[in-house]
Structure 1
Amino acid sequence: MASGVDVGKLNDAAVRRWLKGGVTRDFRDLRFPELRLRASADRAKASVFLVLNENGSTKWDKIATWPSVCIKTLCADLPVMLAKRSVGNMVTGQFDSVGGLLDWYQNHIKDNSTYSASWRANVASLIRCHLLPRIGLLALANVSFIKVDELLVKSMLKDGFAPNYIREAVNKLKSAFSAAAKLRLIATNPIAGYQVTDSIKLDGAKDTRLFETDLGELFTRLSASPMPVTMLFVLMMMFGTRINETRQARWEYFAGDTWVIPASHAKNKQEHRMPLTDAAKALLKHYKRWQLKHIGKRASLFPGVNGPISIRTAHDWNTQIRFKHFTSHDLRILFRTMLADLGVDTMIGERLVNHALPVLLRTYVKSTLDKGMSQALEQYHAYLIERGFSSVAPEILPRSSADVGNKQTLMASGWV
C-alpha cells in the first residue's frame, strides 16, 4: 500500500488524477486542513475523514466516501460540520428551544477576547435575567415576530423596564440568532428583520450634553453627594479620565507628582501618566484621611466587595449626580472642550485624554509634552476654582491668607 500525502486543490478532477497516479495514500488541500482523503486498496474510491485535534489527541472521523459524495458540496458544508462539532451533543442539526440556542451563544462568546469583558458580562446578565426566563422555553420551531413581541417585549414592558433597555435585550436575542444562522446551526433566522420599534415607541432624544454653564448645577449636585461618589466624579472632571479607569484607581498609582493609569485599565491599552497639580494633591490627601477615618485602610480609592467598585455601581453613582441625562463620557467631553476654550494646544489636549496621536504630533519631545500637560492642568484647575469648584472641594484652597505664607495648601474642614 502506498504511503505519504499528496497536496493539491480539492475537487473531483484532482481526486481522480490522484487515485489514478497510485503514488500516495492520502490527499489534502491546505485550504481545508480538517479534511483528509484516504485511497482504498484498489484506488477506485477514497474515504473522506474529518481530522480534528480534541483533548490533545488527533481524531479521524469518517464522514463520507468518494465518489458517492460531491467534493464541492462537501467543502461548502464544512463550516456547518465544524460548528455543529464545536457545540458537541447539544446540537445534532437544530436546537430544540430558544434556551438551547442562548446557552450555545453564551459559550460561543465567553472566551472571545475580541469582545470586551464588560460587554460579555452584560450579554450574560441579559440572557440569565431576562431572555431565558421569558422566552427560553419557546420551541425553536415556534419562534416568530409575534412571539418575541408577546413573551419578551410586552412582558418586560409590563414589569416596568424602560423601552431602551428592552431594545437592548431584543438586540442581544437577535445577535444570538444571527450568529447561529451564520454558522448554519439553524437553517434560517426566524427573527431576521424584526425591529423593537414594531412593538413599542422608544424614548426620544434627550438633553445629554454638558456645557460650561452647567458647572454651577453640577457643583451643587456633587457637594450634596456621598464622599466617594463626589470624589469619583471630581477626579473625572479634573483629569478627563474615563469612568472605568477612574473607578479602578489605587493609592499606589498616585506616586509623587504623577497619577499612573496602567495599560490594563486604559481603553487603548497604553499606560497613561498625568501630572498632579497642587489642588489635586490636596484633594487626594484629604480624601485619604476621610477614607482612613470612615472606611479604614484600603488599596483602592473606591473599594467594593472584592477590589474596586463594579462598573455597574459606578454608573449607578452617575445617576445620583445628573440633572440632565448625561453619561460619564459627557464629563470627559466637557473637560476636552474647556481645555480647547482655554487655548490649550491640540496635541496637549489629546494627550491628556489619552487619545491616539497622529504621526506628525508624535514628534513632540517628551519633556515638552510633559511640561505642556502640567501647565494645561494647572490652568484648567485654576479656572475650575474661579467658577466655584471650591464649593465642592474646599480643601483645595488655603483657609486664609495667613495660611499661604508657608506655601502649602492646608486642608479645610469640609467634606467630612
Structure 2
Amino acid sequence: MITTDRQVQALKPEKGVYWESVKSPHGGGLAIRVQPSGSKSWYFRYRFNGKQDSYSFGRYPSMGLQEVREAHKDAANLLAQGINPKRVRKERKEKNQAAWTMGELFAKWIISYAKTPSTRTKRPPSETVVEQTAWRWNYYLKDHLGELLVMHVDSQRIKGTISDVAATQSREQARKCLTLLRSMFDFAEARGQVENNPAYGIEPSKVGASKSAPRERKLDLTELGRLWAAIEQARLASSTAAAIKLLILTGQRRGELLLTKWGHIDLDAGIWKIPASNAKNRKAHTVYLSTAAVGLLLSLPRHGEFVFPGRVEGQPLGANAITTAVLRLQGRKTRKRDKKAPLGDMVPFSAHDLRRSFATGLGEYCATQPHVIERMLNHVPEDSLVATYQRAEYAEEQRRAWQAWGELIESQVAHDPKNVVPMRRAME
C-alpha cells in the first residue's frame, strides 16, 4: 500500500505491468500502474452496475500524490451518487472541445460588435472604433488571456489582468479593457460559454483602473520636428507617413482624415470638405488647406478614390496603421519600450495628441483666437445657446490661421526645428 510520495518515486519498472494500491482518505480503489518503460499512471478502479471499470487520472509526476487524492475524492463522490465518473469525464471532455478560447471569443465577438447599433447613437461603431478596439485587445489583453478557455477565466483572473494593465500601462486603458471584457463575456454568456459574466461587479477603482485625468500631452515645435524627421527616416508606408504629416498640418481627427476621398478636396481652391457622414459629431466641416498641405497632397500618387488607400483595394488606410506607426517610432509597439527607437527617449504621446499640439500651437505661435481654433477643430459648443445663435464661421480667420501654421511647420519643423520663435500676431 502506497502512503507517501517517496514510495511512489521508489517504484521500479519490471518486465511486466504491475499495480500498487494507494491509500486515500476518500475510500478504496485508488491505484498506480507501473509500465516496463517506467511510466507511472494513476487510476481509480471501481465497480459500476455490477461491472468492473477504471478511470485514469493522469501520469506521475505531472500529477502528484496530493493532487490525485483530491481527484479521487471527486470521483468517489460521483460514484456514491450512482454516477459513473468516466461518463462525467467524457462529457467534460466534449464540453471542453466545444469551448472557445478567449482568442476565439474575441474573434467572434468583434464581428458582432462591428454590426450591432449602439443604444445611444442607434448606429454601429465606426470602422475606426472597431480598429481601436481590436488594437486594445491585441496590445493589452491577448498575451494575458488569449490562450485560456473562456470557462476558465474567473473574476480573480480578470482583476489581476486589469490591475497589471493599470500598473504598467495606462489607468484609462485599463478601464476600457474592463469594459471590453464585460461586453465579450455578455456575448459568451448569451451563447452558453459561461453561466455568469465574471467581469460584472468589478469596480474599476478597486483594480487601479479608475479614469485618469484628461490628457494634457502636447508636442512643442522641437518635438514635432523630431517626429517629422523620424517619419522621413523610418521605413513607414508612404500612405501612413503622409497621413501623419497631414494630421500635424491640419489638426483634424484621424478617422475623418483617413476616410477622405479625392472628391472631397479641391486643390486649386485649397479646400477640403469633410462630409457630415465622416465627421465624429455628424457636422460637415471645411478645412482651408495651407500651401504646405496642398504641396503634400500634390505629391501623393492617386490609387483609387481614397487619398490614403489601404492594402485592400478600394479601402482606406486603417486607423490602426497610424497608431502602430506612432508607437513604433517611440519604441512602444511591444509592452517593453525600446529606448533605441528614433523617439524612444521622448515623453510618450499618441496620434490624438497631435491634434492637441495643433490647437495649442495655433494659440502659442500664431496668435489665433480660441473661438477660431474651436471652429477649426469642428468642436460643438458646450453651451446650447451658443450652438444655436452663434453661427459665424470665421472663414477668413481660419484660412489665415491654417496658412500661418503651415508656414511655421515648413520653416521650423519640416526643415529646422531648432531656434523656435513664436510668430507675432500672425493672424493680424
TM range (shorter): 0.5 to 0.7
**Higher alpha-carbon deviation: 100-109 or 222-231:** 100-109
SS of 1:273's partner is strand
Q: Distance in 2 between matches of 1:179 and 1:135?
A: 17
Offset at 1:270?
1.5
1:220 counterpart = 2:246: no
Superposed CA deviations along residues 309-340 of structure 1, whole A, max 9, x for unmatched, are: 11211212222444232111111001101112
- Of the three residues 249, 257, 261, the one matched with 1:250 is 261
Tell whether the 8 Å contact from 1:163 to 1:200 is kept in structure 2 after alignment.
no
Offset at 1:371?
1.2
Amino acid at match of 2:181: L
Return closer, same or farther for 1:261/1:199 CA change in 2, 3 Å cut-off: closer
SS of 1:274's partner is strand
Structural mapping, 1:161-200, within 5 Å:
171-177=179-185, 189-194=197-202
1:334 counterpart = 2:357: yes
Structural mapping, 1:3-402, within 5 Å:
109-114=113-118, 116-117=125-126, 118-120=128-130, 126=137, 134-138=147-151, 144-146=154-156, 148=158, 171-177=179-185, 189-194=197-202, 208-225=217-234, 226=236, 227-255=238-266, 256-257=268-269, 258-285=271-298, 287-288=299-300, 291=301, 297-306=303-312, 307-322=315-330, 323=343, 324=346, 325-341=348-364, 342-357=366-381, 358=383, 359-360=385-386, 363=389, 366=392, 369-390=394-415
Q: Which residue number in structure 2 is paired with residue 21 of structure 1? A: none
Q: Distance in 1 between matches of 2:257 and 2:196?
A: 44
Tell whether the 8 Å contact from 1:178 to 1:192 is kept in structure 2 after alignment.
no
Superposed CA deviations along residues 78-116 of structure 1, whole A, max 9, x for unmatched, are: xxxxxxxxxxxxxxxxxx967799589668745332252
SS of 2:398's partner is helix
Return closer, same or farther for 1:198/1:385 CA change in 2, 3 Å cut-off: same
Tell whether the 8 Å contact from 1:215 to 1:387 is kept in structure 2 after alignment.
no
Superposed CA deviations along residues 157-191 of structure 1, whole A, max 9, x for unmatched, are: 9xxxx866888655422334468889xx9886544
Structure 1: 5+ residue runs without aligned partners? 1-95, 393-416
Superposed CA deviations along residues 47-105 of structure 1, whole A, max 9, x for unmatched, are: xxxxxxxxxxxxxxxxxxxxxxxxxxxxxxxxxxxxxxxxxxxxxxxxx9677995896
Q: Which residue number in structure 2 is paired with residue 35 of structure 1? A: none
Amino acid at match of 1:260: K
Offset at 1:212?
3.5
Tell whether the 8 Å contact from 1:223 to 1:391 is kept in structure 2 after alignment.
no
Amino acid at match of 2:117: S
> Normalising by structure 1, what TM-score?
0.53
Offset at 1:252?
1.9
SS of 1:301's partner is coil
Offset at 1:259?
0.7
Offset at 1:241?
0.8
Q: Distance in 1 between matches of 2:250 and 2:112?
A: 38
Q: Which structure carries more helix by proportion?
A: 1
Instruction: Give the total of aligned pairs.
Output: 279
Identity rate, percent: 19
Tell whether the 8 Å contact from 1:259 to 1:276 is kept in structure 2 after alignment.
yes
Return closer, same or farther for 1:107/1:334 CA change in 2, 3 Å cut-off: closer
Tell whether the 8 Å contact from 1:131 to 1:169 is kept in structure 2 after alignment.
no
Aligned alpha-carbon RMSD (Å) = 4.7
SS of 1:116's partner is coil
Offset at 1:362?
6.2
Offset at 1:350?
0.5
Q: Distance in 2 between matches of 1:376 and 1:348?
A: 9
Return closer, same or farther for 1:175/1:245 CA change in 2, 3 Å cut-off: same
Amino acid at match of 1:273: T
> Normalising by structure 2, what TM-score?
0.51
Tell whether the 8 Å contact from 2:380 to 2:387 is kept in structure 1 after alignment.
no
Amino acid at match of 2:243: L
Offset at 1:377?
1.3
